[in-house]
Amino acid sequence: MTPELKEKIDQLLKENKVLVFMKGSKLMPQCGFSNNVVQILSHLGIPFETVDILQDAEIRQGIKEYSNWPTIPQVYVNGEFVGGSDIMIELYQSGELQEMVEVALAS
């Protein structure tokens, strides 16, 4: 990963409390896993932004290196990598996600 790409990802994470790197956008997810994440965050009323990795091949590959996680979507809260679709479902069902995001938004 280039230093410029790392800086670009760092900046995106700094600017957004909850950020999802996904296929498509929150208005039009392009895969089922990305849609799962959008539905969970929307259901909880969590403000979040998305980065469409289909629009940027450099970020598509770079984010996998950045997080050391091979799949998309990837969810970040307060700059910290939380996980993908399966982890988000588990956190949602356990109630941990709501708590984690409330703490992040309050900071």
- The type of residue at 105 is L
pLDDT tens digit sequence for 51-82: 999 999 999 999 999 999 999 999 999 999 99
Average pLDDT score over residue span 22-35: 96
What is residue 21's three-state secondary structure?
strand
Give 28-34's long-range contacts (Cβ < 8 A, gap of 24+): 30/54, 31/72, 33/71, 33/72, 33/73, 33/84, 33/85, 34/72, 34/73, 34/85
Is the pLDDT reported for residue 105 higher than 90?
A: no
Predicted pLDDT of residue 106: 86
Mean pLDDT taken over the chain: 95
pLDDT tens digit sequence for 33-43: 999 999 999 99
Q: Which residues contact 21 (CB under 8 A, 6 or more apart)?
A: 50, 51, 53, 59, 63, 72, 73, 74, 76
pLDDT tier at 1, thresholds 50, 70, 90? confident
Domain residue ranges in the chain:
3-106
- Name the architecture of domain 3-106: 3-Layer(aba) Sandwich (3.40)
